[in-house]
Amino acid sequence: MVDTQIVSLDRFIIEQERLYPEATGRFSNIMYDIALAAKIVQREVGRAGIAEILGRAGRTNIQGEDVTKLDVFANNAFIHAIEHAGNICIMASEENEDCIEIPEEYPVGNYALLMDPLDGSSNIDANVSIGTIFSIHKKISAGERGAIEDCLQPGNRQVAAGYIIYGSSTMLVYTTGSGVHGFTLDPSIGEFILSHANIRIPERAKVLSMNESNYPKWPKDVRSYADSLRKRSYTSRYIGSLVADFHRNLLYGGLFMYPPDSRKPEGKLRLLYEAAPLAFVVEQAGGYATNGHISILDIEPTELHQRVPLYIGSPFETREAEAWISGRKQPSTSAE
């Protein structure tokens, strides 16, 4: 029996738009452009080994990290898919030190887009899952074209956020504040098809994801919390691509943590285009994300590339981590 009830991303976006009578369609067009860029990146990721696109681009980015050719390719793919359509007033990217202004020849729109165009770069050459993370805010600056304040907004003001995971299949998962929905790319028709409607994260984690090699460098309260977790029956999985670790934990139930350490006192992960968009997604799926003291979504940004400690995933463990690390309480023994 052929399943004719196929819901494509385009159809889903249109049906979602109808829920908002005041919608202009501008936001929908941004999602179409993101989906197009995702297909273009997926094509390169899928043939990276034969397309001379593996390896390093021979320079470092603002983060002081080696830039890979696929970082550059993905960054350009998303910028060029989005900048011309008149829906965005400004962009920010992990790969660009400053905001990316919309070229004068293009109209601007009422949204700002922030992105990690390629997350998990260190895994590219090993053919391990990688991803793209995006965050969308409403324009708040007074001028006709966008400004940095359109990017420096707290996560609780995001109008949409999501990610693409380039794995055994390619999935786009996003939220606009009405739940979290996952679409799987069907390469035979080049469409993202609704495969995971209304994703909900399990209340309790099954999986712990952390880079244990950093344990000796973590603050004492983080080490003692990690010790308490070891006394329970979790399994450990750490891919080293935030999007992949996050996506697995979202579906199975898990706690991902990247705490501060002696070398990185603010942690490694970036607030605006890693932590905040995934925090919006996880909260919409019933989970939580914290820096160890407050919700990631309530952090007021001061810089484009600022880093934050990140504890994200199932609500039980993430709220327990925050209570423990902030000194409010020790973990409940019932969790044993």
Chain residues that interact with Mn ion, rule: CB under 5 A: 94, 116, 118-119
Minimum gap (Å) between residue 239 Cβ and ligand AHG: 8
Of residues 118 and 207, the one with the C-beta less far from Mn ion: 118
Of residues 241 and 249, the one with the C-beta less far from ligand AHG: 241
Of residues 108 and 164, the one with the C-beta less far from Mn ion: 164
User: Rounded CA gap, 165 and 257, in Å?
Assistant: 19
Residue 37 contact, options ligand AHG, Mn ion, none, Cβ 5-8 Å cut-off depending on partner type: none
Minimum gap (Å) between residue 10 Cβ and ligand AHG: 28
Residue 241 contact, options ligand AHG, Mn ion, none, Cβ 5-8 Å cut-off depending on partner type: ligand AHG
Minimum gap (Å) between residue 164 Cβ and ligand AHG: 13
Minimum gap (Å) between residue 59 Cβ and ligand AHG: 14
User: Rounded CA gap, 119 and 329, in Å?
Assistant: 34
By the criterion CB under 6 A, which residues form the site for ligand AHG?
A: 65, 94, 116, 119-121, 211, 240-242, 268
Minimum gap (Å) between residue 246 Cβ and Mn ion: 11
Radius of gyration of the chain, Cα coordinates, nearest whole angstrom: 19
Minimum gap (Å) between residue 240 Cβ and ligand AHG: 5
Of residues 139 and 248, the one with the C-beta less far from ligand AHG: 248
Minimum gap (Å) between residue 210 Cβ and ligand AHG: 8
Q: Is 266 within 8 Å of 150 (Cβ atoms)?
A: no
Helix (H) or strand (E) holding 36, with range, is helix 26-46
Sign of the Cα pseudo-torsion (101, 106, 111, 116, in order): negative
Residue 289 contact, options ligand AHG, Mn ion, none, Cβ 5-8 Å cut-off depending on partner type: none
Residue 86 contact, options Mn ion, ligand AHG, none, Cβ 5-8 Å cut-off depending on partner type: none
User: Rounded CA gap, 24 and 31, in Å?
Assistant: 13
The residue number whose beta carbon is nearest to Mn ion equals: 119
Residue 240 contact, options ligand AHG, Mn ion, none, Cβ 5-8 Å cut-off depending on partner type: ligand AHG
Residue 172 contact, options Mn ion, ligand AHG, none, Cβ 5-8 Å cut-off depending on partner type: none
Angle 13-15-18 (CA atoms, 0-180°, nearest 5)?
A: 110
CA 81 vs CA 33, 50, 88: distances in Å: 6, 24, 11
Of residues 102 and 269, the one with the C-beta less far from ligand AHG: 269
Of residues 116 and 261, the one with the C-beta less far from Mn ion: 116
Minimum gap (Å) between residue 4 Cβ and Mn ion: 39
Residues near 108 by beta carbon (within 8 Å), at least 6 away in sequence: 86, 88, 89, 90, 102, 144, 145, 146
| Both tokens assigned to 80 | 């060029």
3-state helix, strand, coil in the chain (%, to 5): 35, 25, 40
Q: Is 82 within 8 Å of 117 (Cβ atoms)?
A: no
* Tokens 């179409």, located at residue: 32
Of residues 120 and 155, the one with the C-beta less far from ligand AHG: 120
Side chain identity at 138, as an amino acid letter?
Answer: K
Residue 268 contact, options ligand AHG, Mn ion, none, Cβ 5-8 Å cut-off depending on partner type: ligand AHG
Of residues 94 and 283, the one with the C-beta less far from Mn ion: 94
The separation between the first and the last C-alpha atoms of the chain, rounded to the nearest angstrom, is 48
Q: Is 120 within 8 Å of 239 (Cβ atoms)?
A: yes
| Both tokens assigned to 127 | 């053919």
Residue 211 contact, options ligand AHG, Mn ion, none, Cβ 5-8 Å cut-off depending on partner type: ligand AHG
